[in-house]
Amino acid sequence: MKLKTHKSKKLWNYSLKHLAGGVNSPVRAFNAVGGTPIFIKAAKGARLSDVDGNSYLDYVTSWGVMIHGHADRDIQAALCAALTKGTSYGAPTEAEAVLAEMIKKALPSIEKLRFVSSGTEAVMSAIRLARGYTGRDKIVKFTGCYHGHADSLLVKAGSGAATFGAPSSPGVPAAFARNTVSLEYNDIEGFLKFMKRSGGEVACVIVEPIAANMGLVLPRPGFLKALRKACSASGSVLIFDEVITGFRVGFGGAQGLYGIKPDLTTLGKIIGGGLPVGAYGGSEKIMKNLSPAGKVYQAGTLSGNPLAMAAGCAAIRKLSKPGVYKKLEASGAAMEKGLRRIMVKSGLPLTLNRVGSLFTLFFSKGPLENWTGAAACDTRRYAEYFWAMAERGVYLPPSQFETCFISTAHTAADIAATLEAAEGALSGK
Ligand SMILES: *Cc1c(COP(=O)(O)O)cnc(C)c1O
């Protein structure tokens, strides 16, 4: 391997001594691609620098968080200004309502919202609220969609059948998992059949309106509409988990893109501008059940943290400027065009899914529209591709099942350099 990894290896051994599994989030351990995790020293714009002096064009961008690129000057300025005033008070501040108002303007389905500190917390709380509001226990999710690591959501069911779930992690009580049903993504018929029989028991249906945690999988036409209609009919709460898609696929998120109004929305990643933030919100009718106005409890010492709110406001303000999403779409389209040409030339069984600045190159002939398809990918080939790209100065997600993210800091020249690397990596040259 050409890549220098001496210092990363040293830090990896150091981390293994002190952190569980060497990391604070599993995918960072590179289990899916092998080798030693690359330790980052600094980042600026579209580039990451590692501790060994290698530089990479970054397509992870902190899992989509850094939509403006790394170390953005406007976000830094907002953070510096906030920092001088103290970092946490445990009391209300103006910035919380300001960011809430900005989010509401972008996502009209949200009348009231609440900030928390992560996407996991947002989803966990939204589900509690949906259960409290409906007085029902069962929840429906879709296999291959990730909604954070709360107990009820670490469940996948057998091959798209409407079976009640078994936990996919030790430590999740079977009694919790029994209340979670996991259905096949994009299977409209299977979903409607299930809801016809059991809709009356379902507190909520939660979905990634564009699935971005099994690689990128787009909703089939009519899928989201079917969810909306069935939830309205059964009195179940429809939750769009827009932790990735919110402010990513457009200023109005996936719900704006497809014109479907969920009852609750969960947000995270981009809305914190690089600091830990999550949020959930929806109609006044549902949100008023939340404590202190209502009886469903949820709280947080660092919720609405002033630094996080300042970074979030700066990030969203920048996204509201004209031309931002046009630029992201143009970058995504250029990437797609180039990759399609390379795919044909390579003759390999590959499938590309893209929406806006999100894309995944799957090592499978596809089509890729659910977890069954994603799970059939050649993950060994992906691992080879990952390292071949790293050697060529491109940092991809260290797993076939994660999505690539383009930021506004990626230039046309960056995209061209990435395509050149991909051509080399796929042809083995
Ligand atoms: C990242 C993610 C989460 C979890 O957010 P964390 O901040 O990692 O807890 C939930 N849902 C989706 C769709 C995500 O992509």
- Residue pair 212/245 in contact (Cβ under 8 Å)? The answer is yes
Q: Whose CA is nearest to atom 8 of ligand 1?
A: 119
Q: Whose CA is nearest to atom 14 of ligand 1?
A: 243
| Rounded-to-integer distance, Cα 156 and Cα 336, Å | 31
Residue 76 is predicted with a pLDDT of: 98
Q: Whose CA is nearest to atom 6 of ligand 1?
A: 119
Residue 199: left (phi > 0), alpha (psi -120 to 50), or beta?
alpha
List, in sequence order, every beta strand (DSSP E) within 242-400.
Answer: 264-267, 278-282, 351-355, 358-362, 394-395
For ligand 1, the distance from its centroid to the CA atom of residue 195, given in whole angstroms, is 26
Two tokens, residue 377: 């990918």
Annotated catalytic residues are 146, 241, 269
What's the alpha-carbon Rg for the chain, to the nearest Å? 21
- Residue pair 23/387 in contact (Cβ under 8 Å)? The answer is no
| Rounded-to-integer distance, Cα 239 and Cα 208, Å | 9
Residue 119 is predicted with a pLDDT of: 97
Q: What is the pLDDT along the chain (429 residues), one digit of tens a residue?
A: 589 999 999 999 999 999 999 999 999 999 999 999 999 999 999 999 999 999 999 999 999 999 999 999 999 999 999 999 999 999 999 999 999 999 999 999 999 999 999 999 999 999 999 999 999 999 999 999 999 988 888 876 333 333 455 677 788 888 888 899 999 999 999 999 999 999 999 999 999 999 999 999 999 999 999 999 999 999 999 999 999 999 999 999 999 999 999 999 999 999 999 999 999 999 999 999 999 999 999 999 999 999 999 999 999 999 999 999 999 999 999 999 999 999 999 999 999 999 999 999 999 999 999 999 999 999 999 999 999 999 999 999 999 999 999 999 999 999 999 999 999 999 976
Q: Which atom of ligand 1 lies at the shortest distance from residue 123's CA?
A: 10
- Residue pair 263/283 in contact (Cβ under 8 Å)? The answer is yes
Ligand 1 lining (C-beta closer than 6 Å): 118-120, 123, 146-148, 208, 213, 241, 243-244, 268, 278
Residue 340 is predicted with a pLDDT of: 98
Closest CA to 267 of 316, 200, 317: 316
Q: Which atom of ligand 1 lies at the shortest distance from residue 213's CA?
A: 15
- Residue pair 131/203 in contact (Cβ under 8 Å)? The answer is yes
| Rounded-to-integer distance, Cα 287 and Cα 331, Å | 38
Class of domain 6-71+323-427: alpha beta
Ligand 1 pocket: which of 123, 141, 267 to mutate (most atoms within 8 A of CB): 123
Closest CA to 140 of 108, 100, 180: 180
- Please tell me what DSSP assigns to residue 245: T
| Rounded-to-integer distance, Cα 343 and Cα 356, Å | 19
For the chain, domain boundaries: 6-71+323-427, 73-319
Give the β-pairing of 394-395 and 55-58.
parallel
- Residue pair 410/331 in contact (Cβ under 8 Å)? The answer is yes
For ligand 1, the distance from its centroid to the CA atom of residue 402, given in whole angstroms, is 12
Residue 161 is predicted with a pLDDT of: 34
Ligand 1 pocket: which of 127, 154, 185, 243 to mutate (most atoms within 8 A of CB): 243
Class of domain 73-319: alpha beta
> Against a cut of 0.85, is the pTM above it?
yes
DSSP annotation string for 300-320: -TTTT-HHHHHHHHHHHHHHT
Residues in the chain, total: 429
